[in-house]
């Protein structure tokens, strides 16, 4: 949960964020737990508000289980930022989170979502799609090739959390079908990838700092978005999609709503098409680098911040 303290109409004058590590109890389905958590949160938050002298509060919530904070801080307005479909996430108590999110959606003044799929979940009249942005200068500026990228053949790469939402079956198929290609994965491994690790042309490099990612993607022949078809992916708006586009690298993707918004710039898998063929189709689009970059050149994080500033100023009038 985040609290924005607006000291003037310009967000640029907002003080640096105050980080609080609140102590709360799980089992939010019990009313007595919710009451106790509210008391604990208010104690920590009010102390920070008093210490910093905040006098105009915008309540910004990104988790449904913080619903009881709405109206508790004498805030000027409240916002629910919905970045994921919690009902599609692994490790989430879907039965518990559903009514909490519905309650939150009824209480707040504004709902911000990152995709059209998420927008369709809510009937709130003030539901606005605010997609992720991209650090365009970082990903579009040319960099040197990293020393640990394989050089014996074209490279297809992916960076991000290597989790259960990756379709390892189509990746295995692709690596076998394209033995001259090298498949590179950057990120922490959080799922079983033994079938991929057994292949000689598949390489797991581990995690890399975000600012180094452009040096990898710019020297891949094709960037990969090999996601499974599930509720989480249907609602997602992956940061890496715009980062891939900003780099100019051709993209091979499975079919999901966020990718289809750029279907004239991304090679998207059709029903029953082997993903290896999608990779080859993407590789044929190497001459479209300028078109990919131009498409996201105006979707910077600064542009998104300007949009958000206008929304917040309107709410706090």
pLDDT category at 236 given cuts 50, 70, 90 is confident
243 contacts: CB under 8 Å, gap ≥ 6: 134, 135, 139, 213, 214, 217
Q: What is the pLDDT of residues 13-25, one digit of tens each?
A: 556 778 888 777 7
Q: Is the pLDDT of residue 142 over 80?
A: yes
Instruction: Give pLDDT, residue 44.
Output: 87
Domain 2-131+300-315: assigned CATH number: 3.40.50.2000
pLDDT in tens, 85-139: 887 676 666 777 888 899 999 999 999 999 888 999 898 889 999 999 999 999 9
- Average pLDDT, stretch 68-79? 92
Per the CB < 8 A criterion, the answer to whether 196 and 172 are in contact is: yes
Query: Between 239-247 and 289-296, two packed helices, what is the crossing angle to 10 degrees?
Result: 130
Q: Looking at the DSSP assignment, which residues form a beta bridge with residue 162?
A: 189
Q: Where are the domains of the chain?
A: 2-131+300-315, 136-296
Using the predicted structure, report yes or no on whether residue 256 has a pLDDT greater than 60: yes
Which residues does 68 contact at the CB level (< 8 Å), separation at least 6?
34, 35, 37, 38
User: pLDDT (tens digit, 9 = 90+) per residue, 146-155?
Assistant: 999 999 999 9
pLDDT for the residue numbered 106? 94
| pTM (predicted TM-score) | 0.83
pLDDT surpassing 60 at residue 235: yes
Q: How far apart are CA 41 and CA 68, in angstroms?
A: 10
pLDDT band at 4 (very low <50, low <70, confident <90, very high): very low
Q: How far apart are CA 308 and CA 76, in angstroms?
A: 16
Q: Do the two domains 2-131+300-315 and 136-296 of this chain adopt the same fold?
A: yes
Q: What is the CATH number of domain 136-296?
A: 3.40.50.2000
């Amino acid at each position: 949960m985040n609290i924005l303290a607006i000291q003037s109409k310009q967000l640029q004058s907002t003080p640096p964020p105050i980080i609080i590590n609140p102590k709360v109890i799980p089992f939010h389905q019990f009313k007595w737990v919710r009451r106790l958590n509210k008391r604990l949160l208010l104690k920590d938050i009010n102390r920070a508000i008093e210490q910093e002298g905040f006098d105009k509060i915008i309540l910004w919530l990104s988790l449904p289980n913080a619903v009881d904070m709405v109206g508790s801080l004498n805030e000027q307005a409240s916002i629910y930022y919905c970045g994921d479909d919690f009902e599609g996430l692994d490790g989430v108590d879907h039965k518990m989170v559903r009514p909490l999110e519905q309650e939150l959606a009824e209480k707040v003044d504004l709902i911000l979502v990152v995709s059209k799929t998420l927008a369709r979940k809510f009937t709130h009249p003030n539901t606005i799609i605010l997609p992720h942005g991209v650090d365009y200068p970082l990903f579009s500026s040319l960099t040197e090739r990293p020393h640990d990228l394989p050089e014996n053949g074209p490279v297809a790469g992916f960076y991000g959390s290597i989790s259960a939402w990756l379709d390892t079956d189509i990746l295995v198929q692709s690596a076998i079908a394209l033995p001259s290609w090298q498949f590179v994965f950057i990120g922490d491994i959080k799922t079983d990838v033994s079938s991929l690790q057994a292949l000689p042309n598949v390489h797991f490099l581990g995690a890399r700092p975000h600012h180094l990612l452009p040096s990898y993607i710019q020297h891949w022949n094709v960037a990969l978005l090999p996601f499974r078809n599930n509720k989480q992916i249907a609602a997602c708006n992956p940061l890496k999609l715009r980062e891939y586009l900003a780099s100019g690298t051709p993209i091979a993707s499975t079919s999901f709503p966020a990718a289809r918004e750029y279907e004239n710039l991304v090679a998207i898998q059709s029903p029953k098409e082997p993903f290896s063929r999608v990779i080859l189709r993407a590789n044929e689009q190497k001459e479209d680098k300028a078109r990919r970059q131009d498409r996201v050149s105006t979707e910077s994080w600064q542009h998104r911040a300007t949009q958000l500033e206008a929304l917040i100023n309107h709410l706090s009038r």
